[in-house]
Amino acid sequence: MEFQKCLDQSAPVPYSVVRETLRTELGGDQALNEKFEFIDPIPLASASIAQVHVARLRGTGEEVVIKVLKPGVTETLKADLGFIYLASRLLETLAPDLARTSLGDIVADIRTSILKEVDFSKEQANLEEFRAFLAKAELTAVATCPRVYPEVSTKKVLTMERLRGVSLIDLDGIRAYTDDPEGTLIAALNTWSLSVVLCPSFHADVHSGNLLVLEDGRVGFIDFGIVGRLSPETWKAVTELGEGLVGGDYRVMAQGLIRMGATAAAVDVGKLAGDLQALFERLRTLDPQVVVVADVESQTAAASLQVDEEQVTRLLLEIVDVASSNGLKLPRQFGLLIKQSLYFDRYTRILAPTLDPLRDARVNFPRTVEEAEVVASGAGGGGRMGARRRGREEDLGVVIDVTPKK
């Protein structure tokens, strides 16, 4: 969690350094001048891995953003993450109890994921996959992600369409673009859940900075550096987990986790069910934070709600801990999936506190590719995706939800 903070927040490097990377990657000053009419020397955003600059393409005048890898990042990360991995394996040797938590495997997965983030050609491929999914599912009227300009993109430079909008938790900002924040949330949730089933990969970092409500009312998904990929077996186990949650049957939830996880010995289903019940009953009591921002000059104030990302991470770790304390090793992709679901739960509390995603007919959680294709075909060329559901509650396929029931 603390390591991710270091990746997300960092002072910008001088524009002269960025310009040198652009020259090297895109063919020199003349090539830059031919391709870009303007590049803003002041970064729009900066993180440890990269920083982003607004630019305008020559000829078309299109406004774009350029994501530029910071110098030396790849080498530093390889060295530091390699050391952390070796340390984790040593700790497992010195403290055998840590082996059941899969500490070394978790660190190895983090290392692989982060190193993929410093190769922007992989993010480009992720973006193109998601755009193809949106087009095939006829969802482009409700959601989008940035178009990539491959002619001015490399492994260290990613040039993308600039999407203008506000964060999914900016209540005042959202109301300027739509009179239906709840419908916008449902569109985001439906799009994401369909992508889990129909897209080769799903967005695995849907924190509020990566989900925008655009000026035209659509949902914008940005930053595809981290994605997940689910096997059919894992997805089937996840839907079983969700079905147990719908009915408040923690034993069914426990069986779903057991089906999904690797275990070297028999697992006590009753104990695992009891641990899950205690955890989820506590989750229902958590609330988002209210933040008030005052403008002294205009003598106005605006209230918004925040999703505590540290809290989401802690909740995920507690779920993993419950599983590991019962002898289960869960696949990393499950952790990614649950974390995104926890984010959407927070957003539901903010934008639609009375919405019950598990029972609202507008919300879709398809269990299979066939169900997802039916839902997508019912979108009517990109509408709000009216649900195609069976009448029986036990037939609802879900990811996971911890929304308090009214």
Q: Annotated catalytic sites, by residue?
A: 205
pTM of the model: 0.75
* pLDDT per residue as tens, the chain (406 positions): 333 433 445 789 999 999 999 999 999 999 999 999 999 999 999 988 899 999 999 999 999 999 999 987 766 565 656 656 566 666 656 666 555 555 556 666 665 666 667 789 999 999 999 999 999 999 999 999 999 999 999 999 999 999 999 998 888 899 999 999 999 999 999 999 999 989 999 999 898 889 999 999 999 999 998 888 887 777 777 777 777 877 789 998 888 888 887 676 788 999 999 998 888 887 666 555 544 444 444 444 444 444 455 666 677 778 778 888 888 877 777 778 878 888 888 888 888 888 888 778 898 877 777 888 887 776 544 444 443 333 323 222 223 232 333 3
293 shares its domain with 351: yes
One domain, residues 207 and 344: yes
pLDDT at 334: 78
Is position 187 within any domain? yes
pLDDT on residue 238: 79
Kind of pairing between the strands at 45-46 and 50-57: antiparallel
One domain for residues 179 and 292 = yes
Looking at the fold, whether 234 and 343 belong to one and the same domain comes out as yes
Instruction: Tell me the residue range of the domain where 390 lies.
Output: 164-406
Burial 161-200 (b: 16+ CB within 10 A, else e): bbbebbbbbbbebbeebbeebbbbbbbbbbbbbbbbbbbe
- The total of structural domains in the chain comes to 2
Same domain for 110 and 170?
A: no
- What does the alpha-carbon distance between residue 186 and residue 364 come to, in Å, rounded to a whole number? 9
What separation in angstroms does the CA of 77 have from each of 1, 54, 90, 113, 313? 16, 26, 20, 11, 22
> Residue 48 corresponds to which amino acid?
S
Q: What is the pLDDT of residue 237?
A: 79
